[in-house]
Structure 1
Amino acid sequence: MDIGQKINALREELNQHNYNYYVLDNPVISDYDFDIKLKELQELENQNPEYFDENSPTHRVGGAITKNFNTVVHEYRMYSLDNSYSKEELLEWEQRVYRGLGTEDVQYTCELKYDGASISLSYENGKLARAVTRGDGFQGDEVTTNIKTIRSIPLTLKGNYPEKFDIRGEIILPLEGFAHMNQEIIEAGGTPYANPRNTASGSLKLQDSAEVAKRPLDCLLYSIIGPNLSIKSQYEGLEKAREWGFKVPKEAHLAKNMEEVLTFINHWDIHRHDLPYETDGVVIKVNNIHQQEELGYTAKSPRWAIAYKFKAERVSTKLNSISYQVGRTGAITPVANLEPVQLAGTTVKRASLHNADQIEKLDIRVGDEVFVEKGGEIIPKIIAVDFTKRSADSEPTHYITHCPECDTLLERKAGEAQHYCPNFYGCPPQIIGRIQHYISRKAMDIEGLGGETVALLYNSGLIHNYADLYDLTTEQVIPLERMAEKSAQNLVDGIEKSKQIPFERVLYALGIRYVGETVAKKLAKHYKSIDNLANASLMELVLVDEIGERIAQSVIDFFENQKNRELIERLKGYGVQLESVHTADTSVSDILAGKTLVVSGVFSKFSRDELKKAIEDNGGKVGSSISSKTDYVVAGDNMGPAKLEKAGKLGITIINEDEFLALVSK
């Protein structure tokens, strides 16, 4: 086999493994073996550039930068769908179909309506040629480079496919991946994304395709368009798309009549919450392609298809009061305190009002009867006011002008929706929040000290910042509520022990806005000490891998504050680790690079911390919980049955400590 044949064989094999994993959810080789083959292909391609192929599986990781997205005219227009909200409206549509065709011999394809960003993929000679967003239906933005990073989208096709065609679908962000992304953002002090749909849509227009590759995007396909396709029905088209390598949801159903359509709708109206992604309805299409062509289109929509929209779960209740919460960054969040009401299986007493603009837009007032909805959002939200029940003496809501905790005049920066309390060092919730962050498990992990105790210490006047923790004595702590001599000693010992926490975690603990765990590790590795970081310029910071201007400016702002510098000097004096310990390089290999491993159970040869360190020393990432992004679970004795079951359902490889050693020793 010559080098060209070897490269092509590797590409075909890796494409098949990608298909098995991301489309069929049935991997046949380990992630480790896949990565070894991918690395081999990368080396061969680098050594033999004459065999370059833009659709090679090695291009999945992204890296290309797109400054401007070209506008591309759709060869086949992307129509919108008419919506229906009741059985009666569906039956009226069916009668229009009958009249248009002159027959009642009609079958329907039922597909779930995915709540994502519409995309059109063009294939030529079995290869992805371009990907274009919906835009206005006539033209959209070409986002091919970003789309190639989504592993469920085939770059090359399988089987007997047409020479040229377009296929339409939705780019979605599965709920689990969305929740994980938001958790990382919250830990970094940022504002979480509002919903998966908007996040998926925004991802397509990111300039750096490597950033897109980090997001767990997926693509669900549902419609093939092109000349001379020889496809006789919508349902056949879905089956063909599966054969060619596309991810087509198995929930699609061929209904013989409208009664079966309604049965499908009723089933998924209940069970849609079991799906791993958001769906807001069902799309019903006339199955026969010839009948579709006969029915044609209106100016905006196909006559042969309609969307049935599920009703969002909604209840009405009374708004008793509005309170305002202060976060550790000073952000003010208005909260609606409601008359308790049942919604989606839970009792709802509170709902976020987001900001002043939202209150003004909906004209929300205390005493109103409001409609509360729990659709795609995790947290209930007020979506409207029942003005028919508003009392005559109702008064408009005036958003607070001063902090509810420290009475400082609030600020609202241009372009930002939230108000902030600028009293960073004098506002109790901000101070308590920062200390609670400092002592948290992923930061200084101070044993014997919890969030409630921090509040007690602050309110008792014993601490005013996290540096004050190191001055505490058992005699000061014992008089506190629920504090005995032993627990007081444990607390003081835990604080003393925290002086051994490595620099990267101390940096995270300081609570610099936007500096989460990952960013803290990057900065600690690059700058080695707090002094080097404090003296870095904006340009120097931006040049660090994965550090953008927003993070860089936040770091600059932190160290420009004299009080922060004073706190840093105090921490140095107490012996807190504010520089990297110069020991032998523990990086053993990069054999686990790009892999996420979860450690669970009790081990005989190593402690859990030792195993976690070994994972990181070999280039891997330690995951906090099992998810679809987990590559391996390192399991010891007494691993929880729920975790074991979840790993099994997700098809995640479970290894013991000996198998882990064998893995890294390779």
Structure 2
Amino acid sequence: MSSQHTIATRIAQLRQIIAQHDYNYYALDAPTVPDSEYDRLFAELRELEQQHPELITNDSPTQRVSGQASAAFTQVEHQVPMLSLGNAFAEEQVLEFALRAEQALGADQSHNDLFSPAVTVEYCCEPKLDGLAVSISYEQGVLVRAATRGDGQTGEDITANVRTIRNVPLKLQGEGWPEFLEVRGEVYMPKVGFEALNQRALAAGQKPFANPRNAAAGSLRQLDSKITASRPLEFCCYGSSTEGLADRHSSTLQRLQGWGIMISPEMQVVESIQGCLAYYADIGQRRAQLPYDIDGVVFKVDALEQQRTLGFRAREPRWALAYKFAAQEEITELLDVEFQVGRTGAVTPVARLKPVHVGGVMVANATLHNMDEVARLGVMIGDSVIVRRAGDVIPQITQVVLERRPSDARPVQTPSHCPVCGSQVERTQLVRRSKNKQVVSDGAVWRCMGRLSCQAQLQQALIHFVARRAMDIDGLGEKIIEQLVTTKLVASPADLYRLSYEQVLELDGFADLSARNLLSAIAGSKRPRLARLIFALGIPDVGEETAKVLARALGSLQRVQQAYPETLLWLPEIGAEVAHEIASFFADSHNQAVLAQLAELDVHAVDEGQPDVEFQACTTFAGFIEQFQITGVASTNAQRLAEHFKTLEALFAADWLDLSSIARMSKNTAQAVQDFIKQEGQRQRVLQLEQQLIDFGMHWTCQREQVQAAPLAGQTWVLTGGLEELTREQAKARLELLGAKVAGSVSAKTNCVVAGSSAGSKLTRAQELGIAVLDEAEFIAKLAELENQ
């Protein structure tokens, strides 16, 4: 046997031995050799590799730190979004979560049989580590990529830094792992390591970290991985996006542990929500003794089939909940209250505090939400106040210590004029119809009336308008927008589309190529999808999901602009206050002018058309009558009136005899209805509302159009792997325009899978189920074919 072969064999042996010791130490917490022996083996491996560099491989333990410092982090799009969890801060919220889950699962299993026994739900409980969420991907068992959570869709590539974390295996242990495996977990810094790090910082005259979470996040985002390697970081896995590993969440984690991936030793499966509460109480009592910081516990429905049944809402799963610990509180002094102006003009009070440590973080500012909250607290400037970090994150004042109030304490006054632009500040008004009356009440928000002439509102409105989930104008960061506003080049979102090459070139940091790229990005944003355009406008209380509802239900920006609040109330998830905010936004003359300018500049949605067929004839005559809020007319009497008169015309023509003849309707109610229909102003408003329902195709007499279904209507597609010609978001958008639903996992109901480069377990699953698979070239050709039909 050759000398070279003997050395290669020894190197492979050492790597295997060291990997096993890492597994014993980190995953099992059961080291079998002293540190000195481990160090001796590591030194031998390093020496052999230095003598024979041709034998070095990326998965060698010696290669955790390699290469030069990175100039920046590249963006990584998660194949499956990294969703956040819903939070609970009280036991009642946990019980409500369990009740919803168990009722949903019970209905699913019983097929609406009310007499079937309640479904049994087991929960997997884990401590909620206070660190930074990351995903780590393995191909053929070798670590190939790691990324931060980012915004859930896109994170930063931190592969080089994660490779330096000692308990993250560069190569998986054992066997049976899939071709592609993605694990998710938390990178954190143990308490002992954090204290040692801060002692070193103080000794070097450097500023210490405020808490272990900040230290972990800062260490993981170093551009030089050698710095990350010097920090005492650890990783704990809490799940995997790879399907088919097991049928339960807990079994998935145990399987991952068998491949050398660390999971929480505190993980426990309990049979009921009462078991979850007992686990929470136990961990809470032992929290201070744990070797790491936690800010709560996480409960997950353990059976994966039950998780699939429960599904998701917006950006969080219905099968998981984070139960946060009560925030720590401290007493400090309220030095002053300043007012900040937000994107919608809301003037918000912010407390300036005498700095105090709360839960390991120095707190100098706290939110006061609005002036109603100031009044509720009875807080005055100079007071001693109790401050806590809500959910261990957001500082807020919870109480005034009245016995400590000084004689010179001053009341908090709402400014009469905007602190930024000097415009008038007015309190918002809420207008509601109640019992045949228009009721006007004070809102909780005070607003600067300067609108886009206010630099604070303009700057925040532009930041929102250009954001990735809105108009998605790449290259327009906050600093550039600040320049555009300060130099008065941009006074509204429409002005972005008027910028010239010469104007951009004069901005700090721009040269020929960057100026042309920015103008190209702005021009390329002129054809957004309708939901994006609505969201970009920054309508108060209208987030992405509400924007999608408006786009789908009404089909055009013009209809959204014209819609009465009462019409909007027929749409799902839109309540009275949101409907009022939408109508008020489009009634504003400043907003109308900006919309007109955008239209003149040829900015319009690419997918405008007719309202979705699901909203045609979606109203009922009884529900329409109930909207009038006539005294005594709730759902039952509204139904009686609808059945008796059939049409609005007949109802308006009714007299006392007609109304009093309706069975089981009291004389008082009949009189209230007659009084209502006699008022000319009320009649005109009701007729206007009915006409709009007819115009929008929502009236109960409208016929559902027999439209040709979208080419992919009713189909479910899955995207996996990396695409080169399209971003994942672009591919998803084009599929949705064709009527398809884009899912994150492969099941028997999946119609087609698009497999890009490095496609892993989803492709394997599709092949096992015999589902059609397209590569990127075939996918693009298919899109073109369907879009041209």
Q: Indicate how the Cα distance of structure 1 residues 140 and 318 shifts in structure 2: closer, same or farther if over 3 A, else same.
A: closer
In the alignment, which residue of structure 1 is the partner of 2:240?
A: 224
Residue 175, structure 1, aligned to residue 161, structure 2: no
In the alignment, which residue of structure 2 is the partner of 1:384?
A: 397
Alpha-carbon shift at residue 35 of structure 1 (Å): 2.5
Residues 369, 385 of structure 1: 8 Å contact kept: no
SS of structure 2 residue aligned to 1:386? strand
Residues 74, 138 of structure 1: 8 Å contact kept: yes
SS of structure 2 residue aligned to 1:110? strand
Residue correspondence of structure 1 range 477-556 to structure 2 within 5 A: none
In the alignment, which residue of structure 1 is the partner of 2:100?
A: 96
In the alignment, which residue of structure 1 is the partner of 2:329?
A: 314
In the alignment, which residue of structure 1 is the partner of 2:409?
A: 394
In the alignment, which residue of structure 2 is the partner of 1:504?
A: none
In the alignment, which residue of structure 1 is the partner of 2:304?
A: 289
Residue 54, structure 1, aligned to residue 69, structure 2: no
Letter in 2 for 1:51: L
Aligned partners of 2:27, 2:7: CA distance in 1, in Å?
Answer: 29
Alignment partner for residue 300 of structure 1, among 288, 298, 315?
A: 315
Residue 274, structure 1, aligned to residue 289, structure 2: yes
Alignment partner for residue 207 of structure 2, among 191, 195, 205?
A: 191
Letter in 2 for 1:176: V
Residue 125, structure 1, aligned to residue 129, structure 2: no
Deviation string, structure 1 residues 298-321 (Cα, Å, up to 9, x no partner): 220111111111111336x57599
In the alignment, which residue of structure 2 is the partner of 1:155?
A: 170
Alpha-carbon shift at residue 220 of structure 1 (Å): 0.8
Residue 144, structure 1, aligned to residue 159, structure 2: yes
SS of structure 1 residue aligned to 2:161? helix
Residues 334, 384 of structure 2: 8 Å contact kept: no
Deviation string, structure 1 residues 28-64 (Cα, Å, up to 9, x no partner): 2333332332222223223333323111100134564
Alpha-carbon shift at residue 140 of structure 1 (Å): 0.7
Letter in 2 for 1:11: R
Which has the larger displacement, 35-44 or 291-300? 35-44
Q: Indicate how the Cα distance of structure 1 residues 376 and 296 shifts in structure 2: closer, same or farther if over 3 A, else same.
A: closer
Residue correspondence of structure 1 range 463-478 to structure 2 within 5 A: none
Greater RCO (Cα-Cα under 8 Å, separation 6 or more): 1
Q: Indicate how the Cα distance of structure 1 residues 133 and 275 shifts in structure 2: closer, same or farther if over 3 A, else same.
A: same
Alpha-carbon shift at residue 392 of structure 1 (Å): 8.9
Q: Indicate how the Cα distance of structure 1 residues 359 and 90 shifts in structure 2: closer, same or farther if over 3 A, else same.
A: closer
TM-score, normalised to structure 2, is 0.43
Letter in 2 for 1:49: P
Aligned partners of 1:92, 1:291: CA distance in 2, in Å?
Answer: 17
Deviation string, structure 1 residues 601-624 (Cα, Å, up to 9, x no partner): xxxxxxxxxxxxxxxxxxxxxxxx
Aligned partners of 2:334, 2:88: CA distance in 1, in Å?
Answer: 35
Residues 107, 257 of structure 1: 8 Å contact kept: yes
Alpha-carbon shift at residue 373 of structure 1 (Å): 4.6
Q: How many residues align?
A: 373
Letter in 2 for 1:173: M
Aligned partners of 1:126, 1:337: CA distance in 2, in Å?
Answer: 48
In the alignment, which residue of structure 2 is the partner of 1:79?
A: 83
Q: Indicate how the Cα distance of structure 1 residues 360 and 88 shifts in structure 2: closer, same or farther if over 3 A, else same.
A: closer
Q: Indicate how the Cα distance of structure 1 residues 243 and 358 shifts in structure 2: closer, same or farther if over 3 A, else same.
A: same
Deviation string, structure 1 residues 166-200 (Cα, Å, up to 9, x no partner): 11100001111111211222233322111111221
In the alignment, which residue of structure 2 is the partner of 1:25?
A: 29
Aligned partners of 1:201, 1:352: CA distance in 2, in Å?
Answer: 15
In the alignment, which residue of structure 1 is the partner of 2:48?
A: 44
SS of structure 1 residue aligned to 2:313? coil
SS of structure 1 residue aligned to 2:316? coil
Residues 123, 129 of structure 1: 8 Å contact kept: yes
Residues 78, 134 of structure 1: 8 Å contact kept: yes
Q: Indicate how the Cα distance of structure 1 residues 382 and 224 shifts in structure 2: closer, same or farther if over 3 A, else same.
A: closer
Q: Indicate how the Cα distance of structure 1 residues 143 and 337 shifts in structure 2: closer, same or farther if over 3 A, else same.
A: closer
Q: Indicate how the Cα distance of structure 1 residues 143 and 25 shifts in structure 2: closer, same or farther if over 3 A, else same.
A: same
In the alignment, which residue of structure 1 is the partner of 2:73?
A: 69
Letter in 2 for 1:278: D
Deviation string, structure 1 residues 120-152 (Cα, Å, up to 9, x no partner): 011111111111110111111111111011111
Q: Indicate how the Cα distance of structure 1 residues 116 and 190 shifts in structure 2: closer, same or farther if over 3 A, else same.
A: same
Aligned partners of 1:271, 1:63: CA distance in 2, in Å?
Answer: 42
Letter in 2 for 1:213: A
Aligned partners of 1:296, 1:171: CA distance in 2, in Å?
Answer: 27
Residues 366, 397 of structure 2: 8 Å contact kept: no
Residues 62, 212 of structure 1: 8 Å contact kept: no
Q: Indicate how the Cα distance of structure 1 residues 320 and 119 shifts in structure 2: closer, same or farther if over 3 A, else same.
A: closer
Q: Indicate how the Cα distance of structure 1 residues 382 and 135 shifts in structure 2: closer, same or farther if over 3 A, else same.
A: closer
Aligned partners of 1:375, 1:35: CA distance in 2, in Å?
Answer: 44
In the alignment, which residue of structure 1 is the partner of 2:16?
A: 12
Q: Indicate how the Cα distance of structure 1 residues 199 and 288 shifts in structure 2: closer, same or farther if over 3 A, else same.
A: same
Q: Indicate how the Cα distance of structure 1 residues 186 and 284 shifts in structure 2: closer, same or farther if over 3 A, else same.
A: same
Alignment partner for residue 206 of structure 1, among 199, 210, 222?
A: 222
Residues 353, 359 of structure 1: 8 Å contact kept: no
Q: Indicate how the Cα distance of structure 1 residues 365 and 9 shifts in structure 2: closer, same or farther if over 3 A, else same.
A: farther
Aligned partners of 2:46, 2:78: CA distance in 1, in Å?
Answer: 34
Alpha-carbon shift at residue 391 of structure 1 (Å): 7.5
Letter in 1 for 2:225: S
Alpha-carbon shift at residue 205 of structure 1 (Å): 1.3
Residues 106, 286 of structure 1: 8 Å contact kept: yes
Q: Indicate how the Cα distance of structure 1 residues 48 and 41 shifts in structure 2: closer, same or farther if over 3 A, else same.
A: same
Identity of aligned residues (%): 37
Residue 108, structure 1, aligned to residue 123, structure 2: yes
Aligned partners of 2:304, 2:354: CA distance in 1, in Å?
Answer: 52
Aligned partners of 2:63, 2:361: CA distance in 1, in Å?
Answer: 42
SS of structure 2 residue aligned to 1:222? strand
Letter in 1 for 2:397: A
Alpha-carbon shift at residue 227 of structure 1 (Å): 3.8
Alignment partner for residue 253 of structure 2, among 235, 238, 241?
A: 238
Residues 124, 249 of structure 2: 8 Å contact kept: yes
Residue correspondence of structure 1 range 395-474 to structure 2 within 5 A: 395=410
In the alignment, which residue of structure 2 is the partner of 1:464?
A: none
Q: Once superposed, what is the RMSD of the aligned Cα atoms?
A: 3.7
Residues 72, 139 of structure 1: 8 Å contact kept: yes
In the alignment, which residue of structure 1 is the partner of 2:696?
A: none
Residues 333, 354 of structure 2: 8 Å contact kept: no
Alpha-carbon shift at residue 221 of structure 1 (Å): 0.7
Letter in 2 for 1:136: D
Alpha-carbon shift at residue 295 of structure 1 (Å): 1.4
SS of structure 2 residue aligned to 1:118? strand
Letter in 2 for 1:154: P
Deviation string, structure 1 residues 496-542 (Cα, Å, up to 9, x no partner): xxxxxxxxxxxxxxxxxxxxxxxxxxxxxxxxxxxxxxxxxxxxxxx
